Amino acid sequence: MDDPLQGWLNYLRAERGAGEETLRAYGRDLRTLQLHLRDKELELLEAQVLDLRSWLAAQARRAPAPASVSRRASACRSFYRWALSEGLREDSPAERLRSPRVPETVPHFLSEAEAAEVVEQPSQQGWYLLRNKALLELLYGAGLRVSEASSLRVEDLDLEEGLVHVRKGKGRKARRVPVGSEALRALEAWLGAHEGRGPLFLNRYREGLSARSMHRIVRASGRLHDLGGLHPHALRHSCATHMLANGADLRGIQEQLGHASLSTTQRYAHVSVERLLEVHRSAHPRARRPVEPGPEPSDES
């Protein structure tokens, strides 16, 4: 095979349904490995476990975050397993690589008041204001990934039913999700300024708005409300957090966000102790407060 790295990336795209961001990250990781090996006059398919460990150690010195190191090790294992399955190697030198333990983190989210400010009062004016408000309301109201929002088309909206058809979810899994009344109103206002069919969100050249531009819009709206470094995923996390805090169950949130595993959704189970107590006292038969007994009936009654 002329280019095993590209062959592996093609496999991930076609057979595993990997998203473009994952492919870019894995491609960058393996290209740094290529450069590391070429200094030793080796190719990717000639590497041994010690070569991979020295590469990981060098990468860890540059970007020591456990999640980054873990991703590189994962990419490495995936590549060599694929090479083994394709008959390009007789073994996988990456199987003995150890990934650092990635600490469990609570996703960043906004308060309900902060989220309302960000989506109701975005940056820019006129045509752009209508677009940005619709985008922010959709990211928060439906909990979409920014890659999903950037791939939406006008025909993916069902305004009568209040649904959006996400055709390009993670792992190529499509789903239909509710968007909420506020998002529907913002989308209707935006469609009034839209030019018809095609990409739902447009740039100034009336072409599809890129995911990178959506990141900029979210950051700008965050800065406007003293929320520096705001990321589109924070709106998605806020959607899940606020749904859970207001009584939604994890299975429903899993469907809304398009998570393949419920364990991913469980990261959002960080509601307040007061809310947990309230739910427990209302739902558990042994936790309900007893009714105070009334006065004993007299013999005369």
Active site members: 145, 170, 233, 236, 259, 268
- Cα 140 to Cα 110: distance, rounded to the nearest angstrom: 10
Residue with tokens 């009714």: 291
Nearest to 217 by CA among 204, 205, 206: 204
The conformation of residue 144, written as its DSSP 8-state character, comes to -
End-to-end CA distance of the chain: 97
Q: Residue 146 CB: number of other CB atoms within 10 A? A: 23
100's CB contacts (< 8 A; 6+ apart) are 66, 69, 70
Residue type, 34: Q
**What sign results for the dihedral spanned by CA atoms 119, 120, 123, 126?**
positive
